[in-house]
Structure 1
Amino acid sequence: MSITSENIAAEPLKRLHFLCENLLAEGDLNKIKEETANAVQLADEVPEPLKSVILDHLHRILGSRGIDRAHYYVRSVIRDIGSSASASSLEFNINLWKAYDEIRTDSLWILGKRDREAGHKGWYWGNFVPQIPHQLMMRYTRTSDWILDPFCGSGTTLIEAIRMERNSVGIEINPEVYSRTREAVQSLPHDGTRAEIILGDSYTVDLVPVMERNGVSSFDMVLLHPPYWDIIRFSDDQGDLSTSPDMESFISRFTQIAKKSIAVLKSGGYMGLVIGDAYRDGEIVPLGFRCMDAVASLNMKIRGIIVKDIQNTRGKRSSENLWRYRALKSGFYVFKHEYVFVFQKP
Structure 2
Amino acid sequence: MARVDTAETGQDGGGRDTCPATWRAGVRRAIRAATRPGPWKRGLVLAALAVLLGLVMLLHAEIPNRIGNLGSLVETFLPWFGLFVPVLLAGALWRRSAAAVAALLLPVVVWASLFGGRLADRSHPGGDLVVAAHNVGAANPDPAGTARDLAASGADVLALEELVPQTTGTYEKELARTYPHHTVLGTVGLWSKLPLSDTRLIDIMNFGPAAKTIPADEKIAPNRALRTTVATAHGPLAVYVAHLGSVRVNPAAGFWTASRNIGVQAIGEAIAAERTTRVVLLGDLNGTMDDRAFDDLTARLLPAQEAAGDGFGFTWPAAFPVVRADAILVRGVRPERSWVLPATGSDHLPVAAAISW
TM-score by length of 2: 0.32
Structure showing greater radius of gyration is: 2
Question: Which structure shows the bigger proportion of residues in helix conformation?
Answer: 1
Q: Which has the higher contact order (CA 8 A, sep 6+)?
A: 2
| Structure in which a larger fraction of residues adopt strand | 2
